Amino acid sequence: MTETTWVPRKRRGAELVLTVMAVSLGVFAYCAVGLGAEGRVPAGAVGLAVTLVVVAIAANVLIRRFAPYADPVLLPLVLCLNGLGLAMIYRIDLGLSERRDNWTALAPSQLIWTGLGVVAFAVVLVVVRDHRRLQTLTYSFGLAAVILLVLPLLPGIGQNIRGARIWINLGPFSFQPGEAAKICLAIFFAGYLAEKREALALAGRRVLGVDLPRARDLGPIMIGWLVSIGILVLQRDLGSSLLFFGLFVVLLFIATERAGWIVVGGALFGLGTWFGYLQFSHVQRRFEAWQDPFGDPDQNGQIINALYGLAHGGLLGRGWGQGSPELTPIGYSDFIATSLGEELGLTGLMAILVIYGLIVERGLRIALTCRDAFGKLLAAGLAISMAIQVFVVVGGVTHLIPLTGLTTPFLSQGGSSIVMNWAIIAILLRISDQTRRPAPPVEAVTEDEATQVVKL
């Protein structure tokens, strides 16, 4: 009797419908910016629409060819964010071009970087046919992450921008290696913890109802803490320091299911924050700006403008092209969330956060259904890193937590950010394809194929 097996549906048709809706939303936002700011449809609307359609079709075809069982929701969500980010960057281009004679538009370059992001997406899907092979390169990715993080410190190529040394210059191009290091560290953490999780999960001493790890097992978390402190000390980058340490602690908790790691990680985080506050003036300024931004308007003009923009946006926003997001410095990058909040209001900003929540939920769903430990940890790590990054950057610009220097994935202007985030989505799709792909049929062993003894 033939046994019936359940085969997951590919849902590529549903993905195509959602993709068309996502691209349409981005093009509509772009046209609405032109109508709101200049009273006419932008001249580049057709070019933008054609480019986004080509990008969407290329991504959809790649998934159909190389990952047919991949999650059908991730691609439309990412395209939607990408389109909204392009529209907002174009909006700020219009505002700044009226105020500055020599302003160079950023939206065209962002469109080019989006195309390069899809190229990175395609390379990952084509080259990485099985995510489990990445585990064999665990320590190589760890070494690559360290090299990438050290690159901005090298004289000649490192560049100090707004107090943080996180950029490198290679001829006409600038690159932020930390974005690539984030992926390498996620692979390294997942590979290391998948291998060592049983040793790390051994019971330690119970204190106040919490199982704390043994002193001999504290090595991994101390390494993660020292790496984060090293980033803070050498690069003066508080945001990346928070992101990497938070990613490591959460993965450690998932791998071992011991709340003691969260307690130890929280204590080390508090110690690192206290150390950073005492040692670095820029950390002190950010804490003071968080406590009382209106106490020093000259120093905290950026966060004050952002808060006024959010207040003017109110519940429903001032409308595309009707606000003044260009008044906030770098409102197209770190502060793009407040720019969107001003023009789309609290409702629009919450809708964007829901899209991020859906991306994280799909990533965690992939982790839950994955059958191997490395894939579970890697999918969870990539999803959680995006959640931490969005919380830190949006919380910072809305005055919920002290301000850091991270970009908003798929929205902020910046090549390295958008390219690496497309690569992250490709890895998640590869894991989901491997997870949802039906297992090969198992053929019954006949008597003639029974185990044979071979004498050598």
pLDDT in tens, 409-428: 999 988 888 999 999 999 99
Q: Are strands 205-207 and 173-175 parallel, antiparallel or unpaired?
A: unpaired
Does the structure show a pLDDT above 90 at 215? no
**Residue 240 structure tokens:** 């990346």
**Residue 437 structure tokens:** 């792909």
pTM, entire model: 0.89
In the chain, % of residues over pLDDT 70 = 86
pLDDT greater at residue 237 or residue 305: 305
Per-residue pLDDT at 265: 79
Condensed to tens digits (0 to 9), the pLDDT of residues 287-343 reads: 888 888 888 888 888 889 999 999 999 899 999 989 889 888 888 988 999 999 999
**Residue 424 structure tokens:** 């992250």
Strand partners, 175: 168
Q: How far apart are the first and last CA of the chain?
A: 39
Could you tell me if 137 and 184 are in contact, meaning their C-beta atoms sit under 8 angstroms apart? no
**Residue 244 structure tokens:** 């990497």
In the chain, % of residues over pLDDT 90 = 34
Nearest alpha-carbon partner for 352 in 46, 130, 25: 25
Nearest alpha-carbon partner for 71 in 81, 85, 55, 59: 59
- Residue 105 phi/psi, 5-degree rounding, is -60, 140
Nearest alpha-carbon partner for 234 in 334, 149, 162, 157: 149
Outline where 39-167 has alpha helix (H).
45-66, 74-99, 107-127, 138-150
**Region of 440 on the Ramachandran plot (φ > 0 left; ψ -120 to 50 alpha; else beta):** beta
Mean pLDDT of 171-196: 83
Strand partners, 168: 158, 175
Per-residue pLDDT at 263: 81
Return the minimum-mean-pLDDT range out of 206-210, 265-269, 361-365: 206-210
Please work out, in degrees rounded to the nearest 5, the angle formed at the alpha carbon of residue 406 by the alpha carbons of 396 and 420. 145
Does the structure show a pLDDT above 90 at 387? yes
Per-residue pLDDT at 220: 63
Return the minimum-mean-pLDDT range out of 181-195, 211-225, 370-384: 211-225
Return the minimum-mean-pLDDT range out of 106-115, 118-127, 165-174, 284-293: 165-174
CB burial of residue 58 (10 Å; 0-12, 13-18, 19+): middle
Cα 76 to Cα 94: distance, rounded to the nearest angstrom: 27
Per-residue pLDDT at 386: 92
Burial 383-404 (b: 16+ CB within 10 A, else e): bbbbbbbbbbbbebbbbebbbb
Element (H, E) at 173: strand 173-175
Cα 91 to Cα 323: distance, rounded to the nearest angstrom: 9
Name the band, by pLDDT with cuts 50, 70 and 90, for residue 85.
very high
Contacts of 160 (CB under 8 A, 6+ apart): 167
pLDDT greater at residue 271 or residue 214: 271
pLDDT greater at residue 18 or residue 204: 18
Name the band, by pLDDT with cuts 50, 70 and 90, for residue 453.
low
Per-residue pLDDT at 350: 95
Q: Which amino acid is at 230?
A: G
DSSP state of 437: S
Nearest alpha-carbon partner for 75 in 93, 96, 92, 52: 52
Mean pLDDT of 122-130: 92
Does the structure show a pLDDT above 70 at 14? yes
Mean pLDDT of 233-254: 78
Cα 451 to Cα 453: distance, rounded to the nearest angstrom: 7
Sign of the dihedral defined by the CA atoms of residues 42, 46, 47, 50, in that order: positive
Condensed to tens digits (0 to 9), the pLDDT of residues 24-66 reads: 999 999 999 999 888 888 888 888 888 888 888 888 899 999 9
Per-residue pLDDT at 428: 95
Nearest alpha-carbon partner for 403 in 163, 177, 225, 91: 163
Name the band, by pLDDT with cuts 50, 70 and 90, for residue 442.
low
Element (H, E) at 374: helix 373-397
Name the band, by pLDDT with cuts 50, 70 and 90, for residue 211.
low
Cα 127 to Cα 39: distance, rounded to the nearest angstrom: 46
Per-residue pLDDT at 158: 73
